[in-house]
């Protein structure tokens, strides 16, 4: 499973066109239109698992736990390599991700189908809820578009569960500006040490190393990790 940006964006743009007679609803969909680009900044692999679990695509089942404390105890002996999959805590379904910066385990609660159009968050989201419902209606004849819309709506739940709502709000407010580096390190050695120890490095995120911006590369299948310097436009 992988993040299909083109399908997500295509579905939202089509819904906006079909809702052209309701400019307010089309405008309300803008956060959903941009959510896929936000996820590419180091959230991609956590979201891939989240999306796969929601769509009931085969992921390892890690077990059922009565509490977070019980899960933490289990992780102490099951963290090399770090597990990926679904689990249950007190009846709720989760996927297990890892914090982009700290590498600590990150529990991501999966919404039910009924919750999908209710991304929650601060007051005023009612416009977005209504816009998502209307988008679902106008795209209902196209299974491919609906799949893209479902992924975009699920991404809003993921952002809330991952504790990234403020980061996402800043991203929306500064779309024309580059994203801030995730971490800062004085030396390349410090950055490499962080990269080696991270259970699941945040592929696509940038880090600041001695004043230079580098991009994190991570291939989970081969456990390949690297820091890449991309040339600037003037170079």
Domain ranges for the chain, please list them.
5-173, 183-228
Tokens, residue 116: 């999908």
pLDDT at 235: 59
Distance (Å, rounded) from C-alpha 132 to C-alpha 127? 9
Measuring CA to CA, which residue among 7, 32, 61, 12 is closest to residue 159? 32
* CB-neighbour burial class of residue 20 (10 A; exposed 0-12, middle 13-18, buried 19+): exposed
The count of other CB atoms within 10 Å of the CB of residue 196 is 9
- pLDDT band at residue 123 under the 50/70/90 scheme: very low
pLDDT at 130: 83
| Per-residue pLDDT at 5 exceeds 90 | no
* Distances 48 to 12, 54, 76, 141, 161 between C-alpha atoms, Å: 19, 10, 24, 26, 14
* Distances 219 to 25, 45, 80, 131, 200 between C-alpha atoms, Å: 39, 10, 16, 36, 9
pLDDT at 120: 60
Average pLDDT over residues 166-180: 88
| Per-residue pLDDT at 97 exceeds 90 | yes
Which three-class secondary structure state does DSSP give residue 172? helix
> What is the pLDDT of the chain when averaged over all its residues?
89
Whole-prediction pTM: 0.87
* CB-neighbour burial class of residue 98 (10 A; exposed 0-12, middle 13-18, buried 19+): buried
CB 84 within 8 A of CB 59: yes
Average pLDDT over residues 143-151: 91
């Amino acid at each position: 499973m992988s993040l299909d940006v083109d399908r997500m964006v295509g579905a939202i743009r089509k819904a906006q066109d079909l809702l052209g007679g309701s400019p307010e609803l089309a405008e309300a969909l803008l956060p959903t239109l941009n959510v896929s680009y936000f996820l590419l900044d180091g959230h991609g692999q956590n979201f891939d698992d989240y999306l796969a679990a929601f769509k009931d695509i085969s992921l390892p089942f890690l077990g059922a736990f009565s509490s977070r404390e019980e899960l933490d105890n289990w992780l102490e002996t099951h963290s090399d390599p770090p597990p990926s999959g679904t689990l249950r805590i007190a009846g709720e379904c989760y996927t297990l991700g890892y914090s982009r910066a700290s590498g600590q385990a990150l529990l991501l609660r999966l919404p039910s189908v009924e919750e999908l159009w209710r991304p929650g968050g601060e007051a005023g989201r009612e416009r977005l809820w209504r816009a998502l419902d209307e988008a679902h209606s106008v795209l209902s004849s196209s299974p491919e578009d609906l799949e893209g819309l479902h992924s975009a709506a699920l991404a809003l739940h993921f952002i809330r569960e991952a504790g990234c709502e403020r980061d996402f709000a800043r991203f929306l407010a500064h779309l024309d500006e580059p994203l801030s580096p995730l971490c800062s390190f004085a030396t390349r050695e410090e950055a490499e040490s962080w990269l080696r120890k991270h259970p699941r490095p945040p592929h696509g995120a940038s880090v600041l190393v001695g004043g230079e911006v580098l991009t994190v590369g991570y291939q989970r299948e081969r456990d390949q990790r690297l820091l890449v310097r991309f040339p600037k436009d003037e170079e």
